[in-house]
Structure 1
């Protein structure tokens, strides 16, 4: 459904105002009218979504059908017309419930137990009439006039597509529905408190918390580890039994969600280290068949698989006795070591490891001598400086000086690439952390920086994420920042944060979904989007929806880069299955939360497919850069740098570099001399504690 275009001024005001209230009301004691309907308060002129108290999901016309007798199921809320219902008064306290999508009404074709709910043409029959019986927590039961039975989610299912039937009225949570009037409830619940764990074993843990409060009611709780959704439970639950991975170290937290889809800020994080299920002190066998082959200043090492009494989980590569890389999984048996010195002899060994960190003895050494010149993509890597705080955003000034941000100290720093000397330019006012991934994020400067020297920054504030610009005068930040864009929802994770000026001199902004996937599909909300604004913060007249939104349906994008044709590429975190690289088109819908990469409901009309996907374990990629139409992708969990050649609208000849060499990689940016800047993110990147990191800023010389 497309929203009507408004004037630019009114659309911007409305989008900003709505997004600001979504976030700001979580910290302000504002009392708004009740937004759910009861038997006495239902408005026949309004539209509602009907939210099941047990599952948190809504009545939905299955397959978006308009046909007679199409079945009605429950589905994750997206506020599509197929989930919107109007109440038509039939007299005597009964209503017909009409679909905004098909104009047909809810109906039970018989009075038998288990009869499925369908939609049929409105004839005001008793099987189409329902009485609203008040229940606990502001919800109602829908009792059919012909049968006297209740609308029931069969077997208390919480699954998308679960059948909705009639059964005798028991008053159970799976028969209770919150009638949420659309467009009114913007107040999120309070953050859950007192998060704690118990009963930790090698396969499971009980996670508990104290109840949130809401102006209407908490519909359900979403449980995450490290930004990855694990499960959701009804709003009546205050604990969940979770499945865990032996040996993993996870940060658990929970968000509260109300029936209108408003999401709280996160609870405190509880860190767990999962024990192994059995003691294992037996190391893998030593790898054999090791070879090393030079190609210019790169060396490719290969070996035969090792064995283990339980299982090999990866390999470590040693150059001249020092570990320089690693691989994950038992089947990856090669590694490319890039950026070496020319005409130099090196010795390589490989050792295997298992899940409990038992390591084999190193293999027999193999010697190789590099060539006289670089013949590969990465020619040399130099550590220019180290950092005790996270270097997140980075950009190059005219003349080659580098600006970068320290995420958790909220400082901007100038780096001299020739000497490694650093100068702190000052703190970003009103910046705030999130006990997760918020803080000072993206940095950018426009092409006219010399004549009009503004530094653009995206940062988290106490109430939202926002974009500001600060004057850069006489080599220092000067004056009060100008606030360009506010009301971008914040949360512990999923803040997005990358900034990039396009060849059209517009500023593009990557925003996360604020841990509320439905916001990504709401074009009046700034979360889960690529935004596009003028350098002064106004909205360009040719934006597709009359506001700052350029594309939508994104989960947590942190990479933006333009190619030589002026096309925008975007890198996006998936949840638990796959990350994706997208080619952004004006007004495009990239599918989240219905579609993750190529999994889920990706065939829905209008969704734009990714150009490439990556398993999360090999990716969790953040920044991207384009140099000579090669796309470079910096990955965190995957601890590697992908390089792909842009050919038309495809990515070809995909290679992996620096796998495990420098650990987690956060940001990659073009350098003034045609190379790359690369930053690490190996410690302290899941909290807001200042100066608890040990990071590097690397200079990469590129070859072909």
Structure 2
């Protein structure tokens, strides 16, 4: 979209207004972010004469001069300091349409216009790094009682100058908020234009006010956004890589539709390549306990080597993938092996076209008799559906949920015997990652027999509980409803804390604005009493315990009773967070440690992650803490991270099972000091029941 602001034409990435999410294949961020929408004729000036607060002011020029209706007076901040701000209290929540900033000579080159309901948590509705003074007449969309100009870089940077506004005018109306989302876009088609580009088209959505934007996604990641007046958009794709593309619509108030049906697209490779890489050479191996470390000399290729496949005794044991910017590593750690056993290894190189080399030299390595970290792996069972939530019962057996089939299975890990204990009623999948998700049992399970369940319904995500007796679930009680659902970003993990409260991880429902909205249950860690009531000591007088989350799917408590959380990023990085009461973790303005919108990761009050992971090596879901070691199960990264908790830091980070079992979904402590682990490979993104081939594993830990 092109917006003309005082004679300048600026490309706008419109999605940053509401979601703050970066376009997955975008180039450098634009200088100015904001919405260009027509100002409703009925909207009026709301700010004149209203109470004003500023970060500072010079003796000549109090904040009230910015809303007195005349340009002959001005507000001036203190000199020589960034940032500085001024906000006006409109007296009541309003739907905002326009902000007019009349600058004195001391203007801002970089600033944001922000809204808030409580003058504490702010949402950015306009942002620029290309300000040049004069009059900024800005069309905005948002709702709030408080409106703030937040300046981060002065036009006049010497120490004697600050910020100066002659007038700060806010226009809008105080009518009821628009809470009705648009209808779902339909008839989505994808036309491949070449190896790296495609055009997505759809039939328009409808809305009670009007569609402002369409957002185009692949597999839960935002690609780009277009204006609500068009019904097609170009996207950059990756040659030879299959994507599931879909579209959702959004109105000016930030209401987001449900996602369209998914269209699968596989563009042709960008280069016809029939030349295989050379064989890796110089393979060596050594054992440390029951793990084997391998090292080799890199292969060469006419285009590029993109991965190495490691074979153990003739069967593939793992993969070392490369990235778009770096070749694959030439080392591999093979773990979970039998003690005192000799294994034969070789390595094969692979390129992006699927050409494979001859194999390397073969080496034999004999494992030791002891294991210090991640040890032997035993397959307990397989399943034709996606195992998602998993709990260990007091007798050492397991209950796990099957996401797309909507039922719960009782597994005896000693014998492998499985029994279906019931189908959860009112579950509806989302043609993505919704369905039957997290499970938990409380500390009083032996007496109350409650099994807690997080699932997607036809209208929302919700938390319910059932009694579990005689190997059957029954007596459903609905504890919490109204958690927004969408194709992706449903969250879903449940965990009881040492305080006896139930904690739940919820996704932002593909609308980043939800994560910063304290009145929304989405993009949060929630805290409930076991009966579903709200604990009186929650920080915001509702169910919210922490906020600013994108799509958290991992929760675990350490020996000090501290809560750790695992969260999916969009296209830059995932993050592990140490959760504090009332903490704000920054999404959508901050993804991991990468600023995305507004004031970014440097925003006052945002809490930084304790560890981050490139999405290609991560996309991690479940976590478990065993003897104060954090284990992280990763899907796209097809690996397990092991990280030692030391104080409030994560240290000695190691990677295991890289490519060995494919995508990993859930890890949970086992009663013998080991760990349960599940895979999530076939059918992970389509909601089709019983089209998978997954494993439930036990991992011995040293």
Common fold: TM-score over 0.5: yes
Shift in alpha-carbon separation, 1:127–1:662, aligned structure 2, 3 A: farther
Q: Deviations over 1:635-675 (max 9, x none)?
A: 00000000000000000000000000000000000111111
Deviation, structure 1 residue 365: 0.5
Alignment of 1:312-331 (within 5 A): 312-329=305-322, 330-331=327-328
Give the distance between the partners of 1:167 and 1:348, measured in 2 at CA. Answer: 70
Match of 2:677 in 1: 678
Give the distance between the partners of 2:335 and 2:659, measured in 1 at CA. Answer: 12
- TM-score normalised according to structure 1 size: 0.79
Alignment of 1:585-664 (within 5 A): 585-600=580-595, 601-664=600-663
Deviation, structure 1 residue 314: 1.0
Deviation, structure 1 residue 203: 1.1
RMSD: 3.3
Deviation, structure 1 residue 373: 2.6
Q: Give the counterpart of 1:271 among 243, 247, 264.
A: 264
Q: Does 1:121 align with 2:120?
A: no
Match of 2:128 in 1: 161
* Structure 2 residue matching 1:451: 3-state secondary structure: helix
Q: Deviations over 1:609-657 (max 9, x none)?
A: 0000010000000000000000000000000000000000000000000
Decide whether the 8 Å contact of 1:53 with 1:234 is kept in 2. Answer: no
Deviation, structure 1 residue 418: 0.6
Give the distance between the partners of 2:126 and 2:685, measured in 1 at CA. Answer: 31
Q: Does 1:466 align with 2:462?
A: yes
Decide whether the 8 Å contact of 1:56 with 1:234 is kept in 2. Answer: no
* Structure 1 residue matching 2:216: 3-state secondary structure: strand
Match of 2:367 in 1: 370
Deviation, structure 1 residue 300: 0.8
Q: Does 1:209 align with 2:176?
A: no
Q: Give the counterpart of 2:512 among 507, 511, 517.
A: 517
Give the distance between the partners of 1:178 and 1:307, measured in 2 at CA. Answer: 63
Shift in alpha-carbon separation, 1:259–1:371, aligned structure 2, 3 A: same
Match of 2:113 in 1: none
Alignment of 1:391-470 (within 5 A): 391-470=387-466
Decide whether the 8 Å contact of 2:217 with 2:223 is kept in 1. Answer: yes
Deviation, structure 1 residue 125: 3.3
Decide whether the 8 Å contact of 1:54 with 1:234 is kept in 2. Answer: no
Shift in alpha-carbon separation, 1:143–1:544, aligned structure 2, 3 A: closer
Deviation, structure 1 residue 103: 12
Q: Deviations over 1:8-63 (max 9, x none)?
A: xxxxxxxxxxxxxxxxxxxxxxxxxxxxxxxxxxxxxxxxxxxx99947779xxxx
Give the distance between the partners of 2:589 and 2:414, measured in 1 at CA. Answer: 48
Decide whether the 8 Å contact of 1:53 with 1:219 is kept in 2. Answer: no
Give the distance between the partners of 1:144 and 1:584, measured in 2 at CA. Answer: 38
Decide whether the 8 Å contact of 2:401 with 2:439 is kept in 1. Answer: yes
Shift in alpha-carbon separation, 1:407–1:603, aligned structure 2, 3 A: same
Match of 1:350 in 2: 347
* Structure 2 residue matching 1:384: 3-state secondary structure: strand
Give the distance between the partners of 1:76 and 1:612, measured in 2 at CA. Answer: 34
Match of 1:243 in 2: 236
Q: Deviations over 1:473-515 (max 9, x none)?
A: 1221123x10001000000000000000001110000000000
Decide whether the 8 Å contact of 2:49 with 2:67 is kept in 1. Answer: no
Q: Give the counterpart of 2:338 among 341, 344, 347.
A: 341
Match of 2:386 in 1: 390
Give the distance between the partners of 2:490 and 2:283, measured in 1 at CA. Answer: 44
Q: How many residues align?
A: 592
* Structure 1 residue matching 2:454: 3-state secondary structure: strand
Give the distance between the partners of 2:486 and 2:394, measured in 1 at CA. Answer: 34
Shift in alpha-carbon separation, 1:119–1:574, aligned structure 2, 3 A: farther
Decide whether the 8 Å contact of 1:56 with 1:259 is kept in 2. Answer: no
Decide whether the 8 Å contact of 1:75 with 1:159 is kept in 2. Answer: yes
Give the distance between the partners of 1:519 and 1:139, measured in 2 at CA. Answer: 18
Deviation, structure 1 residue 443: 0.3
Decide whether the 8 Å contact of 2:575 with 2:612 is kept in 1. Answer: yes
Deviation, structure 1 residue 199: 3.7
Match of 1:230 in 2: 223
* Structure 2 residue matching 1:602: 3-state secondary structure: helix
Deviation, structure 1 residue 182: 7.6
Q: Which shifted more, 637-646 or 443-452? A: 443-452
Q: Deviations over 1:354-373 (max 9, x none)?
A: 00111111111101111123
Shift in alpha-carbon separation, 1:57–1:245, aligned structure 2, 3 A: closer
Give the distance between the partners of 1:353 and 1:378, measured in 2 at CA. Answer: 28
* Structure 1 residue matching 2:652: 3-state secondary structure: strand
Shift in alpha-carbon separation, 1:370–1:183, aligned structure 2, 3 A: farther
Give the distance between the partners of 2:297 and 2:64, measured in 1 at CA. Answer: 62
Give the distance between the partners of 2:494 and 2:96, measured in 1 at CA. Answer: 43
Shift in alpha-carbon separation, 1:558–1:125, aligned structure 2, 3 A: same
Give the distance between the partners of 1:546 and 1:622, measured in 2 at CA. Answer: 29
Give the distance between the partners of 1:202 and 1:672, measured in 2 at CA. Answer: 51
Decide whether the 8 Å contact of 1:410 with 1:440 is kept in 2. Answer: yes
Match of 2:280 in 1: 287
Decide whether the 8 Å contact of 2:49 with 2:68 is kept in 1. Answer: no
* Structure 1 residue matching 2:206: 3-state secondary structure: coil
Deviation, structure 1 residue 519: 0.5
Q: Give the counterpart of 1:571 among 566, 573, 578.
A: 566
Deviation, structure 1 residue 144: 11
Alignment of 1:89-108 (within 5 A): none
Give the distance between the partners of 1:446 and 1:410, measured in 2 at CA. Answer: 22
Give the distance between the partners of 2:72 and 2:424, measured in 1 at CA. Answer: 63
Match of 2:213 in 1: 220
Q: Give the counterpart of 1:533 among 528, 534, 541.
A: 528
* Structure 2 residue matching 1:450: 3-state secondary structure: helix
Give the distance between the partners of 1:579 and 1:292, measured in 2 at CA. Answer: 32
* Structure 2 residue matching 1:264: 3-state secondary structure: coil
Give the distance between the partners of 2:200 and 2:257, measured in 1 at CA. Answer: 18
Q: Give the counterpart of 1:299 among 279, 292, 298.
A: 292
Deviation, structure 1 residue 183: 6.0
Shift in alpha-carbon separation, 1:100–1:684, aligned structure 2, 3 A: farther
Q: Which shifted more, 555-564 or 234-243? A: 234-243
Give the distance between the partners of 2:101 and 2:377, measured in 1 at CA. Answer: 71
Match of 1:10 in 2: none
Which runs of 5 or more residues in structure 2 are unaligned? Answer: 1-10, 19-30, 37-42, 57-62, 74-94, 103-124, 142-169
Deviation, structure 1 residue 200: 3.1
Deviation, structure 1 residue 205: 0.3
Q: Give the counterpart of 1:508 among 500, 503, 526.
A: 503
Q: Does 1:359 align with 2:337?
A: no
